[in-house]
Amino acid sequence: MDNLQHHLSDSLKQLRQANGWSLTLAAERTGVSKAMLGQIERGESSPTVATLWKIATGFNVPFSYFIHDSTLQPGETATFSQPNAQMIVRPLLPYDASLRFDLLAVELAAGAQSDSSAHEKGVVEQVVVTEGELLLGFDGIWRRLQAGEAFQFAADVAHSYRNPLNITLRFHSLIHYLARV
């Protein structure tokens, strides 16, 4: 098991135990099956970005909680990629508890789409496209963003990121946890 998967496995297990949750209760709170949570805890499965978001939201922790590795040297960051490599997420800064935000660099493969469940009430996300074109879907509408464009939206609704082009899409996601995290 590589360092990041080991960190993810340990983090999930520790967080679940610290909350006093069984796997059954964790599954209810996160919307991720008990079997999948068990496989992640045992290091037998690597979740998709969407699954990791569900887990983070269910436990009310920032996304980077699961991918920040304290063994990294200053200036180094962990990279989380889905098993199918359709989406890669890398924290640009560690989670800031006083400012309550995550700053992530995201890559989405050509033609790929990633769907995200609603985050906690009050979570706001800002995206800035650095390369390519992003179709951002929320509240039943799709908004097209070109390189250099930014958009802010309430992320406490289901939302999707789609890359309509034949090149890798790169964007930054600044997530403000205005509620409690």
Choose among 7, 1, 61, 3: nearest CA to 30. 61
Token pair, residue 1, equals 């098991």
Residue 11 belongs to domain spanning: 3-66
Task: Please write the tens of the pLDDT for every residue from 43-92.
Answer: 888 887 778 888 988 888 888 887 765 554 444 455 555 555 688 888 88
Task: Please write the tens of the pLDDT for every residue from 80-98.
Answer: 555 556 888 888 887 878 8
Dihedral of the alpha carbons of 55, 58, 63, 66, in degrees to the nearest 10? -50
CB 34 within 8 A of CB 25: no
- Residue at which a domain ends, from 66, 91, 121: 66
Q: Which amino acid makes up residue 129?
A: V
CB 169 within 8 A of CB 108: yes
Q: Is the pLDDT of residue 107 over 60?
A: yes
> If 0-12 CB within 10 Å is exposed, 13-18 middle and 19+ buried, where does residue 25 land?
middle
Q: What integer pLDDT is reported at residue 26 of this predicted model?
A: 94
Q: Is the pLDDT of residue 1 over 50?
A: no
Q: CA 116, 81, 64: angle at the middle one, nearest 5?
A: 65
Residue 26 located in a structural domain: yes
Q: Could you tell me if 100 and 141 lie in one domain?
A: yes
Residue 71 located in a structural domain: no
Could you tell me the pLDDT band of residue 2, with boundaries at 50, 70 and 90?
low
Q: Could you tell me if 86 and 60 lie in one domain?
A: no
Q: Could you tell me if 92 and 173 lie in one domain?
A: yes
Checking DSSP bridges between strand 80-81 and strand 87-96, what pairing results, if any? Answer: antiparallel
**Total number of domains in the chain:** 2
pTM score, whole prediction: 0.77
